[in-house]
Amino acid sequence: MFDSGEFKPTMNRVKIFTNSILSFLLLLPMPIPAQGLDIATGDSILCKNKKLDTYMALSTKEFNIAICFHGESCVYDTAGNEYFYIGQDRKTNNQIFLPANYQILDSNEWTEKWEVFNGNYKYEVFQTKKRGGYSSISVFQNGRKLYSAEATKYIYNCYD
């Protein structure tokens, strides 16, 4: 039938080839899933990864957004607090991390806006308790709106 001496070197070559392929596949970068909200704890994983606390966070179909803070209290006017915007593309996982500026639009309705500037881009994160509460993100370039979406998931982690 066959000489086992001829078969053995062929099997060794197959083993070496298979192990080489598997080793190569293990070295390929695996995509990391987009990190957004931990609804159970009321935290943003984006903030946690930067060792910051979550002020608020939202997810749209395309992006995860977080407003994070470093300080003693989430109340905006607390001395020494710093606020940051983290935006993550859910497809590519690319992120931006920038200082965030706060504006109260209507204190009776808990309506507020965060503005973030990056060159000629402006990001606006809007949230309100009106109509049961909602949040949205808008992106502008040179004053022209490029993107706007209401949150599909939303957490607000700062209550007085």
Predicted confidence at residue 138, as pLDDT, reads: 94
Average pLDDT, consecutive stretches of 10 residues, N- to C-terminus, the chain (160 residues): 51 49 37 48 83 89 91 63 90 94 74 91 87 83 95 71
d(CA 60, CA 148): 10
Predicted confidence at residue 137, as pLDDT, reads: 92
* Domain boundaries, given as residue ranges, for the chain: 37-156
Predicted confidence at residue 62, as pLDDT, reads: 94
d(CA 43, CA 59): 12
Q: Look at the alpha carbons of 95, 96, 99, 103 in this order and tell me if their dihedral is positive or negative.
A: negative
What is the pTM assigned to this prediction?
0.70
